[in-house]
């Protein structure tokens, strides 16, 4: 009981505090590979603090939806973070069928971000929302197919059981080919869902090329802080989700398990930084091809399990 309480506290603390650090790690990786020093690791925290102290500029045409967008999105992704187990420790919130809830809260987050973007009436943000939902149709399919692999393997519809199943089984028992295919697919979903290169460029200032950033162009001050924090949490949750497809062997020591989780998350951040440094963005018209490829990879992973 005490152990699960500690695990739960660890989960909550990490979910709340660690996501911006992940952004800092990605930035640092990119900077080092480009031969730059880069901003401090904690820069995303400083930025959030700075934004929280600023005022908010609201467009005359914006309604309550514009203000609700970042809040609903943040709450939704935080809820998602409670459903996904971090590493080999149990998730704080779990019940049979919660995988459906995860997909829905992520969709809710996207729905409100897009709605807030449309609420501004700006042609840029309308364009961004259109791109976001178009690509979401494809990345959600990949996500669900990827999750199906683990549902099939574990026979459970609860994230807590199905995601941790690979770590709980001996290596010889694992459907390695399926997991590898799904892992590649899920990594693409991770990049696409979190507006990373090659799908989107989080660092660009060119509105016409953006997807996620252009949707939040009108948000400022504390609202922008919520948006940025929400985006960081989403990245963290997706990274934690992705890690279950490349599971480590759990040890007897919970502390070691958490250390392994932290190391794995660092690995994901470095991997994202590597991808962003080594390749350019795709042409927007080629993004669907990539997302369909992710769906196919996850789908084949699933098919391989149907004997």
Partner 1 sequence: MSMATTPDTPWQRLAVLVNGRALPKSAVPELSITDFQQAILGGVARQCRVAALFGMPDRTSPDALWLYVVLADDDSSRLRLGRTRIGDNSFPSLTPACWQVHLFEREIAEQFGRVPVGHPWLKPVRFHRSYQPGRDAWNRPAEAEIAAGVMDFYQVKGDQIHEVAVGPVHAGIIEPGHFRFQCDGENVLHLEIALGYQHRGGERALAAGPGPRSIHYAETLAGDSTIGHATAYCQAVEALGGIQKSARAQSLRATALELERLANHVGDLGALSGDVGFTSTQAFCGRLRGEFLNMTAVLCGSRFGRGLLCPGGVRFAPDVSAIDALRRSLVRAEAETRQAVELLWNSSSVMARFVDTGVVPRQLAIDLGMVGPAARACGLNRDARQNHPSGLFRFTHIPVATWESGDVFARAYVRFLEVQRSCEFVCQQLDSLPSGAVRSPLAPLAADSLAVALVEAWRGEVCHVVLTDEQGCFERYKVVDPSFHNWAAVAMALRGGQISDFPLCNKSFNLSYCGHDL
CB-wise, 87 or 128, nearer to partner 1? 128
| CB nearer to partner 1: pick between 134 and 154 | 134
Of the pair 164, 212, the CB lying nearest partner 1 is at: 212
- Which residue in 18, 246, 277, 296 binds partner 1 (CB under 8 A)? 277
Q: Which is nearer to partner 1, 2 or 206 (CB)?
A: 206
Q: Which of residues 84-143 bind partner 1 (CB under 8 A)?
A: 123-124, 126-127, 130-131
**Does the footprint of partner 1 cover residue 57 (CB under 8 A)?**
no
What's the closest the beta carbon of residue 227 comes to partner 1, in angstroms?
17
Is 209 among the residues that bind partner 1 (CB under 8 A)? Answer: yes
- Of 135-143, 180-188, 273-281, 298-306, the window that binds partner 1 (rule: CB under 8 A) is 273-281
Q: Is 154 a binder of partner 1 (CB under 8 A)?
A: no
Q: Give 86's contacts (C-beta < 8 A, 6+ positions apart).
A: 10, 11, 14, 15, 240, 261
Query: Cα dihedral angle (119, 124, 130, 136), rounded to 10 degrees?
Result: -100
**Residue 204, interface with partner 1 (CB under 8 A)?**
yes
Q: Which CB sits closer to partner 1, 77 or 197? A: 197
Q: Segment near partner 1 (CB under 8 A), from 14-22, 84-92, 235-243, 271-279? A: 271-279
Out of 36, 40, 50, 63, name the contact with partner 1 by CB under 8 A: 36
* Binding residue (CB under 8 A) for partner 1 from 284, 292, 293, 296: 284
**Cα angle at 21 between 124 and 70, to 5 degrees?**
35
> Smallest distance, Å, CB 58 to partner 1?
19
Contact residues toward partner 1 (CB under 8 A) are: 30, 33-36, 123-124, 126-127, 130-131, 197-198, 201, 203-209, 276-286
């Amino acid at each position: 009981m005490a152990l699960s309480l500690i695990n739960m506290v660890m989960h909550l603390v990490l979910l709340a505090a660690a996501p911006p650090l992940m952004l800092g790690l990605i930035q640092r990786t990119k900077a080092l590979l480009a031969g730059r020093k880069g901003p401090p690791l904690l820069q995303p925290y400083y930025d959030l603090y700075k934004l929280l102290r600023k005022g908010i500029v609201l467009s005359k045409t914006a309604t309550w939806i514009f203000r609700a967008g970042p809040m609903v999105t943040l709450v939704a992704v935080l809820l998602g973070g409670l459903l996904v187990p971090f590493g080999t420790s149990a998730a704080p919130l779990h019940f049979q069928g919660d995988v459906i809830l995860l997909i829905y809260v992520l969709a809710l987050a996207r729905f409100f971000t897009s709605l807030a973007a449309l609420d501004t009436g700006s042609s840029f943000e309308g364009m961004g929302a259109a791109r976001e939902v178009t690509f979401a149709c494809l990345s959600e399919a990949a996500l669900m197919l990827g999750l199906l692999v683990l549902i099939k393997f574990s026979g459970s519809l609860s994230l807590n059981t199905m995601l941790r199943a690979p770590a709980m089984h001996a290596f010889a028992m694992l459907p390695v080919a399926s997991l590898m295919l799904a892992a590649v697919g899920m990594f693409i979903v991770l990049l696409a869902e979190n507006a990373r290169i090659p799908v989107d460029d989080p660092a660009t200032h060119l509105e016409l090329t953006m997807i996620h950033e252009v949707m939040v162009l009108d948000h400022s001050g504390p609202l922008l802080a919520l948006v940025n924090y929400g985006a960081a949490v989403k990245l963290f949750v997706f990274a934690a989700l992705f890690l279950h497809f490349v599971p480590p062997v759990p040890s007897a020591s919970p502390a070691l398990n958490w250390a392994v989780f932290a190391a794995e998350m660092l690995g994901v951040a470095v991997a994202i930084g590597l991808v962003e440094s080594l390749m350019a963005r795709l042409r927007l018209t080629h993004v669907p091809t990539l997302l369909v490829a992710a769906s196919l990879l996850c789908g084949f992973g699933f098919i391989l399990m149907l004997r």
